[in-house]
Structure 1
Amino acid sequence: MATDPNFWPDYLEQHRHPANRALHVAGTVTAAALLAVGVARRDRRALLAAPLVGYGAAWLGHFLVERNRPKTLDAPLASLVADMRMAGLALTGRLAREYRRYGIPDRPGLTIRRTGPAPAPAPGSPSRRYAEPSSYPR
């Protein structure tokens, strides 16, 4: 499966509001727990509830908080992987660093000022730097 090197930065851009990210993390963690319970107990209700809870919380964040279109509608599998990645980074306290790495403000209305050269890409990351939309104030 070929991946778009800009998907992750675009995903981060769509999840700038802390309340949206909190809803995503809560939905992802709860969905994972429901899946685990559903498999362990062979409980169909838990298995059916997992995607409803996970996507329900995330979509509330998009429609009511962030007011944008969920990336799940365009790339369901890549979006699921990104949801899990974001949850892992958030739960380990590394998500803000990821936003800084791509030069994306992690809150609406926040501007990141660059005083020096752009940071080198992390090992294993795409060599192409994420191109910010021209609407960002510098």
Structure 2
Amino acid sequence: MSGFASFRDFYPYYLTEHSNRNCRRMHFVGSTLVLLVLVLAIVTGRLAWLWLAPVAGYGFAWIGHFVFEKNRPATFSHPLYSLMGDWVMYWQILRGKVRI
């Protein structure tokens, strides 16, 4: 996929790469775990917990892509926009705008 002029241009593409509900569910679980890891690290004061954040986030998301979506994660070609897309989609799932 070619470059995108803006995140606004990228996000519709991002959603097409997440058309499988199980893939979106895996993203949601991974992102929720990232937030829990961040809270755990802050509450306990043990910043060593932070190494789990990318493992949980990317681990669940990539399983979603390889097992359910059967595509290559956008992280590999558009890392910043993909990270932004993860959190926009997460928020839209919470608000009921994207179904899981």
TM-score, normalisation: structure 1: 0.64
Q: Quote the offset at 1:36 in angstroms.
A: 2.3
**What is the percentage of aligned positions where both structures have the same residue?**
36
Give SS of 2:71's match. Answer: coil
Partner secondary structure for residue 6 of structure 1: helix
Are residues 1:55 and 2:27 paired? no
Q: Which has the larger radius of gyration?
A: 1
> 1:85 maps to which residue?
88
Determine whether 1:67 maps to 2:49. Answer: no
Between Structure 1 and Structure 2, how many residues are aligned?
96
- The 1-side partners of 2:77 and 2:96 are apart by 28
Structure 2's unaligned 5+ residue stretches are none
- Residue 40 of structure 1: how far off its partner (Å): 3.3
Say if 2:17 is the partner of 1:6: no
Say whether the 8 Å CA contact 2:7–2:81 is kept in structure 1. Answer: no
Structure 2 counterpart of 1:13, one-letter code: T
- For 1:41 and 1:95, the matched residues in 2 are separated by 33
Aligned equivalents of 2:13, 2:74: Cα separation in 1: 9
What is the root-mean-square deviation of aligned Cα atoms in Å?
1.8
Q: What's the TM-score once normalised by structure 2's chain length? A: 0.86
- Please give the per-residue CA displacement for 1:107-128, whole angstroms capped at 9, x wherever unaligned: xxxxxxxxxxxxxxxxxxxxxx
Kept in 2: contact 1:39–1:47 (CA 8 A): no
Higher helix proportion: 2
Q: Is the 8 A contact 1:25 1:87 kept in 2?
A: yes
Larger RCO, structure (CA 8 Å, separation 6 or more): 2
